[in-house]
Amino acid sequence: MHSIIHPTGEHDYRRGIRHHFDGSSQTAECSVEPGSAADLAKIMKVIKEHNVEFAVKGGGHTSNPGFSSTRGIHIALSRFRRITYNEGNKELTVGAGCLFHQISDYMRGRNRNIVGGGIGVGIGGWMTGGGYSLKTNQYGLGIDNLVQIEIVTPDGEVERAAEDLKSDLFWAVKGGGNNFGIVTEFVVKTHFQRPAYAKVLIFKEAHVEDVKRAILEFITRKDPKAAIVAAFRYYLKDSLELRKDSLEDPKDSLEDLKDSLGGLKDFLEDGSLSNFCYNYLLTRVASTV
């Protein structure tokens, strides 16, 4: 695939620098979409020769300006989206520009998936940052399931690294972000994937202490097949994102949860959702009402 440079102001330029959180984006001199690791290597040689400020964006889900945005040359990995599955060793090769819902769509019907992140999150920054997942209790972090990488080093060389190949570089990338190069491809383990159940519960501020106690108790039970993501958010009174009167009433949330869980007998029987998790959710959510 060929590479493209987008000058400031073009539609594709705006798409290239855009992030999930608007405050993370910066106005770059240009946005470039390399079409191959070889082209990216050439770009890195130019950047090194002229000592130009640059940044690299995979999925663009960071909430911090400067992490994957710049006022210099912005490199978007959106063309690195090839995905291939090896039926023999059950490993998945994923381009660094892939988003996790694209990976899940690709794996649909195979009853397998990788340890990964949420919808809209890119594999690049997530994986090189360690990769915490809802499956981490069972299978470890994303980097614990990493088999091999293709990486473009700061001096513009394309390398492959694994436990038995440039092992120091492989070790450094697993949690070191993009400080040691730009990963263009990941080879990762896959695991058997059963149907899963997820639920979003929203509680009003008056229940914060009860919710915190419930979360803490949930975590200490250490059910390997259960996970929870907690977010405490405060919105301006007139915020367009979420008005106060749109918050679910805890009693409504509980009834909704009971209805949703009522049809999960098949999941419970094959072990996708443990009986403990089912009963615990009902008990603890009820205690906050």
Token reading at 190: 């896959």
pLDDT band per the 50, 70, 90 thresholds, residue 241: very low
4-76 with 83-192: one CATH topology? no
27-35 mean pLDDT: 94
In the predicted structure, residue 244 carries a pLDDT above the cut 50 = no
pLDDT of 185-227, one tens digit each?
999 999 998 888 888 888 888 888 998 898 888 888 878 888 8
- pLDDT of 286: 44
> By mean pLDDT, which of 42-46, 106-110, 213-217, 261-265 is the weakest?
261-265
CATH 2.30.40.10 fits 83-192, yes or no: no
Q: Where are the chain's structural domains?
A: 4-76, 83-192, 205-287
Mean pLDDT over the full length of the chain: 83
CATH 1.10.10.10 fits 4-76, yes or no: no
In the predicted structure, residue 49 carries a pLDDT above the cut 70 = yes
DSSP per residue, the chain? ---EEEETT-HHHHHHH--SSGGG----SEEEE-SSHHHHHHHHHHHHHHT--EEEESS---SSTTTS--SSEEEE-TT---EEEETTTTEEEEETT-BHHHHHHHHTTTTEE-S---TT-BHHHHHHTT---TTHHHH--GGGGEEEEEEE-TTS-EEEEETTBSHHHHHHHHHHTTTT-EEEEEEEE-EE------------GGGHHHHHHHHHHHHHH--TT-----------TT-SS--GGGSPPHHHHHHHHHHHHHT-HHHHHTTSS-HHHHHHHHHHHHHT-
pLDDT band per the 50, 70, 90 thresholds, residue 30: very high
Secondary structure, 3-state, 29-53: CEEEECCCHHHHHHHHHHHHHHCCC
pLDDT band per the 50, 70, 90 thresholds, residue 254: very low
pLDDT of 148-186, one tens digit each?
999 999 999 999 999 999 999 999 999 998 899 999 999
114, 125, 128: which is closest to 20 by C-alpha?
A: 125
Percent of the chain with pLDDT over 90: 54
